[in-house]
Chain A
């Protein structure tokens, strides 16, 4: 049995407006780390692996789908690795952003099956051996609000693990019609963005052609 993350919320609003909002948020450099373009580059790979929700942590990106074992994730992992091998065709503003980004010292991202903080399961995780900064250090919800204004919704989501550990409870500050949510976690310092939750289905068209 796999205990899956339910998802951020239903995506709402017109596609055109939503795309503009998504791009505005993703292009706001104060909300993202210096290596964030690398995460956008693997967005299509997670989509190819069937992930509908992507977590952007400070030092890695992870699919929301947990697998009981690493072996159970191999099929999806292969799909992701196959997709990542093809260079992404990014929308112009993101292509420019990626060109401007310095080549990370640790090389390109690799996708592996690994555990994340949410539970006992294995997730598809994009990381690298070198330092990776996908979110700015100490990003707070207050900063997000100062840049984007009040969230469209604030909702809580509980992530149950297969084991009996305390569930991770995310407080999601939802923007762009639900495509992007900045999340606090009950396992982290209050007020600090522990992760950003991307709706892959909604975000991918805004980023990748």
Chain B
């Protein structure tokens, strides 16, 4: 069945306009660009090969840059099935002085290694070489031994087992004999060494057009023609010929598998085929092509080993036509059918057979019915073993005037066609598209081997379910085939390593039957919260969509841990105490979109206690909060800091820390010392003015600090003194203030004294100020006192005095007590451990008439007998009642309780108590 030529023209026009065209079948790409072909080279006579291990890797050689001493010749390469191309300069000049490439053919071996057959031209003639890949794919190729002298072709047995597996064959025409002979060199080492074997029958006629193909059983077929008779008139000259196929069943050692002369593929009668330098219409100087060995090609069917030979024969139409002969018995017999329609001269056939048995033929015809010659590259396929043909126009172009055209050569002697899997891959030299300078360029094309090609369908975007956390998520991507033939899917690539398509168990390429789908597991591995996306490139043999892009989208939720604590985590001051603590809540809030999981909560310090959560983890729902109490319970004084750390599933804060702080004041602040003691002593008195021979006394006092820093203190004390002729009681109250090593005191003292000789008890009071310096082992100070109630009459006697004037006065005689003002110093010093001395000395300012000031003082030696029990010995001089003569006491006593002593001086802050002077007093009489 044929399709309308009009449709082909439209398709070709679209191809010309946009460069890369999708029509119903063929995908075409102009490989040349201004960037990769700045020299506007003609890129003619192209050859193509597809890596059997990866059909996305395609290699093409053409007459692009030549090799020179400083530059290698290129191989065009595509890694994406032909969509994009790059030049790899990897064919070196094989020998100095050789120009080239002069002819070329390309092939891959079973390991995907590239091989190129090249012709070099020098002053000594021509030499063929096989370049083989010995390094990386794009590394410079290695030239092998030279062989032959014309148009080398190349095929490699890609089988991995069998006697001829891996064998390389390079047919060429041997010009070194009288009748040129089709010859095949073979190599078991990738061209490093070549064995050349004559193959064609040149016994009567010279040979030409040497092409080969390898069957899946390792048999090798050579097609060639025997040129028989004169060449006709130009243009479009014909010459009679037979197209013959020889077969080698022994790895190229001999070529007589079906007879030394081979078998004519069109029967016994000769055919007329082109032998012309003017394929086309040269009228008016129009460019023409040469077609001398451009009339035969051969291929094998990889599915059944059928052999197909394409050749040119002028038939009853008067035009040179393309025929394809099929052999189902490995070259013994052939049946030919015409591919073309008998309306135009056609030549340059290349034939290939796809895995499904579809046969493809690339050829060229021309239409010169107008004022120009349109050369038309065409591609015909047969889905019924060559019985009928479906023809497509690849390009119809007037090549006149193109910048790099070589008249009588144009695209060269042959072009490129091969098949890999169920796809045909081809390349021809056609009119450029998208070039600044109109020229010849290599045009890659590919087409399906199915009449109704496979059609890939994939839903895009591929949306992953929202997820929380970093755990991989898997979903399914269905790749479907809505076309007519099986779809081959090649390795799928991802733009992101976080989105991975699982390779099928059978690996790539993957075949999906028509009407079926394949579910690819796709795994998304989150790396962080938020939106994530990637693009999958799904290459396939859908001719209309060689690579489908599918966007994958995923949203990763996040648990977010936010902590709040009052006072920036400061617990303030908290005294060390076994039963005292302070709690402060840490609020954990989750403003994220996923549940927050708190898997642990720890404190860096035992003084800041995290709650004892029995069952971790804690869960905080999105938008919710929980309060976690942190307990500050210091065990020692000082500034305290700690970090409360919680492990969460917040990806941005997997460990969340809260700094807490607090202060435990020193013990003298939290538990300031309270001094209290009771004294009792007894002992003899001495001195002429004593009021008895002995004395005993008792006293008690208390000192309690107060205030914010416990630097103030209230000191209260009382004392009772007994003498046989006297009793005294005194009560003192003082306010004490401590600052560093200094201590100040202000006191008021009340005394009641009773001398038995007097009528009543006297009450006196004075105020005193004290000042102390507290050094590590000694306390010394000063004090002063001044009477407040300085006098108290204790005895009053009245008598009538002498008359005076009109009356007689009453004379009153008063005996009174009077306070004595004091100014003195104090000291307390340790003499040895648990032994200390208190003492004071005072200057006593007396008020009694006629007496002078005096002094007084005391010293007490204390020793600690047991905790809170001290023994004291005290010596007092003028201790209280000051008579006309000094008196004193020596008392022995005991102190119960505790009063400050030298070891307490290490306390830097609290008041330690002051020595309050007794209210000293004297007695005298006055008359009124």
Interface residues of A (CB under 8 A from B): 1, 57, 59-60, 114-118, 120, 156, 158, 160, 162-169, 185-190
- Which of A120, A160, A187 makes the CB contact (< 8 A) with B290? A160
CB pair A115–B124 under 8 Å, yes or no, is yes
Q: Point out which of A118, A120, A165, A185 has the most chain B C-beta atoms below 10 A from its C-beta.
A: A165
CB pair B100–A187 under 8 Å, yes or no, is yes
Chain B residues, Cβ within 8 Å of A57 = 123
CB pair A186–B66 under 8 Å, yes or no, is yes
Nearest residue (CB) in B for A167 is B409
- Which of A1, A60, A118, A164 makes the CB contact (< 8 A) with B103? A164
CB pair B173–A164 under 8 Å, yes or no, is yes
- Whether a CB of chain A sits under 8 angstroms from the CB of B745 is no
Knowing A163-B173, A164-B173 are in contact, say whether A187-B121 is a contact too (CB < 8 A). Answer: yes
CB pair B103–A165 under 8 Å, yes or no, is yes
Knowing A187-B102, A188-B99, A189-B68 are in contact, say whether A166-B412 is a contact too (CB < 8 A). Answer: yes
CB pair B99–A163 under 8 Å, yes or no, is no
Give bound CA distance, A57 to B123, whole Å: 10
* Chain B 400-411 interface mask (CB, 8 Å, partner A; 1/0): 000000111100
CB pair A120–B412 under 8 Å, yes or no, is no
Please give the distance in Å from A192's CB to the nearest CB on chain B: 9
A-B CB proximity, top 3 nearest: A187-B99, A163-B150, A115-B125
Give bound CA distance, A137 to B231, whole Å: 43
Nearest residue (CB) in B for A115 is B125
Give bound CA distance, A173 to B45, whole Å: 27
Please give the distance in Å from B64's CB to the nearest CB on chain A: 11
Give bound CA distance, A139 to B44, whole Å: 28
CB pair B123–A166 under 8 Å, yes or no, is no
CB pair A169–B66 under 8 Å, yes or no, is no
Please give the distance in Å from B654's CB to the nearest CB on chain A: 64
Give bound CA distance, A114 to B103, whole Å: 22
- Which of B39, B102, B407, B408 makes the CB contact (< 8 A) with A165? B102
Chain A residues, Cβ within 8 Å of B406 = 156, 158, 167, 169
CB pair B63–A163 under 8 Å, yes or no, is no
* Chain B 271-293 interface mask (CB, 8 Å, partner A; 1/0): 00000010000000000001011
Give bound CA distance, A162 to B290, whole Å: 12
Knowing A57-B123, A167-B409, A188-B99 are in contact, say whether A162-B175 is a contact too (CB < 8 A). Answer: yes
Q: Which of B504-563 contact A (CB under 8 A)?
A: none
A-B contact pairs, 26 of them (CB 8 A): A1-B231, A114-B124, A115-B123, A120-B126, A120-B149, A158-B407, A158-B409, A160-B408, A163-B149, A163-B150, A163-B151, A165-B103, A165-B121, A165-B126, A165-B151, A166-B100, A166-B101, A166-B102, A166-B103, A166-B121, A166-B409, A166-B412, A167-B409, A168-B121, A189-B69, A190-B39
CB pair B175–A120 under 8 Å, yes or no, is yes
CB pair A164–B66 under 8 Å, yes or no, is no
Give bound CA distance, A162 to B413, whole Å: 13
CB pair B66–A117 under 8 Å, yes or no, is no
Chain B residues, Cβ within 8 Å of A169 = 406
Please give the distance in Å from A111's CB to the nearest CB on chain B: 15
CB pair A164–B293 under 8 Å, yes or no, is yes
- Which of B69, B125, B292, B407 makes the CB contact (< 8 A) with A164? B292
Chain A residues, Cβ within 8 Å of B103 = 164-166
Q: Point out which of B102, B119, B412 has the most chain A C-beta atoms below 10 A from its C-beta.
A: B102
Q: Point out which of A115, A160, A164, A167 has the most chain B C-beta atoms below 10 A from its C-beta.
A: A164
Chain B residues, Cβ within 8 Å of A166 = 44-45, 63, 100-103, 119, 121, 409, 412
Knowing A117-B121, A187-B121, A190-B39 are in contact, say whether A163-B126 is a contact too (CB < 8 A). Answer: yes
Q: Point out which of A59, A162, A163, A187 has the most chain B C-beta atoms below 10 A from its C-beta.
A: A163
Chain A residues, Cβ within 8 Å of B69 = 189
CB pair B99–A117 under 8 Å, yes or no, is yes
Please give the distance in Å from A145's CB to the nearest CB on chain B: 20
- Whether a CB of chain A sits under 8 angstroms from the CB of B122 is yes
Give bound CA distance, A188 to B66, whole Å: 8
How many residues in B have their beta carbons less than 8 Å from beta carbons of A?
35
* Chain B 376-419 interface mask (CB, 8 Å, partner A; 1/0): 00000000000000000000000000000011110011000000
Please give the distance in Å from A189's CB to the nearest CB on chain B: 5
Chain B residues, Cβ within 8 Å of A185 = 99
Nearest residue (CB) in A for B125 is A115
Chain B residues, Cβ within 8 Å of A162 = 175
Q: Point out which of B39, B101, B175 has the most chain A C-beta atoms below 10 A from its C-beta.
A: B175
- Which of A1, A114, A187 makes the CB contact (< 8 A) with B66? A187
Nearest residue (CB) in A for B174 is A163
* Chain B 685-717 interface mask (CB, 8 Å, partner A; 1/0): 000000000000000000000000000000000
Please give the distance in Å from B224's CB to the nearest CB on chain A: 12
Chain B residues, Cβ within 8 Å of A164 = 103, 150-151, 173, 292-293, 413
Please give the distance in Å from B442's CB to the nearest CB on chain A: 15
Chain A residues, Cβ within 8 Å of B68 = 188-189
Give bound CA distance, A163 to B103, whole Å: 11
Chain A residues, Cβ within 8 Å of B121 = 117-118, 165-166, 168, 187
* Chain B 617-630 interface mask (CB, 8 Å, partner A; 1/0): 00000000000000
Nearest residue (CB) in A for B121 is A117
CB pair B123–A117 under 8 Å, yes or no, is yes
Please give the distance in Å from B501's CB to the nearest CB on chain A: 45
Give bound CA distance, A68 to B150, whole Å: 15
Nearest residue (CB) in B for A59 is B123
Chain A residues, Cβ within 8 Å of B99 = 117, 185, 187-188
Give bound CA distance, A24 to B101, whole Å: 37
Q: Point out which of B39, B63, B99, B149 has the most chain A C-beta atoms below 10 A from its C-beta.
A: B99
| New A-B contacts (10) at CB < 8 Å, excluding given A165-B151, A187-B99 | A60-B123, A114-B124, A115-B124, A160-B277, A160-B409, A164-B103, A168-B121, A187-B100, A188-B66, A189-B69
Please give the distance in Å from B202's CB to the nearest CB on chain A: 15
Nearest residue (CB) in B for A3 is B277
Please give the distance in Å from A5's CB to the nearest CB on chain B: 13
Nearest residue (CB) in B for A187 is B99
Chain A residues, Cβ within 8 Å of B126 = 115, 120, 163, 165
Give bound CA distance, A115 to B127, whole Å: 12
Give bound CA distance, A61 to B123, whole Å: 11
Chain B residues, Cβ within 8 Å of A165 = 102-103, 119, 121, 126, 150-151
- Which of A117, A163, A167, A189 makes the CB contact (< 8 A) with B175? A163
Give bound CA distance, A34 to B292, whole Å: 43
Give bound CA distance, A174 to B292, whole Å: 31
Please give the distance in Å from B329's CB to the nearest CB on chain A: 31
Give bound CA distance, A164 to B126, whole Å: 11
Give bound CA distance, A158 to B44, whole Å: 14
Nearest residue (CB) in A for B122 is A117
Nearest residue (CB) in A for B275 is A1
Chain A residues, Cβ within 8 Å of B408 = 158, 160, 167
Please give the distance in Å from B234's CB to the nearest CB on chain A: 13
Nearest residue (CB) in A for B173 is A163
Q: Which of B75-125 contact A (CB under 8 A)?
A: 99-103, 119, 121-125
Nearest residue (CB) in B for A166 is B102
Q: Which of B39-86 contact A (CB under 8 A)?
A: 39, 44-45, 63, 66, 68-69
Knowing A158-B408, A165-B126 are in contact, say whether A120-B63 is a contact too (CB < 8 A). Answer: no
Nearest residue (CB) in B for A188 is B99
Chain A residues, Cβ within 8 Å of B175 = 120, 162-163
Chain B residues, Cβ within 8 Å of A156 = 406
Give bound CA distance, A60 to B123, whole Å: 9
Chain A residues, Cβ within 8 Å of B102 = 165-166, 187
Nearest residue (CB) in B for A186 is B66
Give bound CA distance, A186 to B101, whole Å: 10
Give bound CA distance, A105 to B387, whole Å: 70
Give bound CA distance, A89 to B122, whole Å: 34
Give bound CA distance, A163 to B408, whole Å: 14
* Chain B 139-160 interface mask (CB, 8 Å, partner A; 1/0): 0000000000111000000000
Give bound CA distance, A127 to B406, whole Å: 31
Give bound CA distance, A169 to B150, whole Å: 18
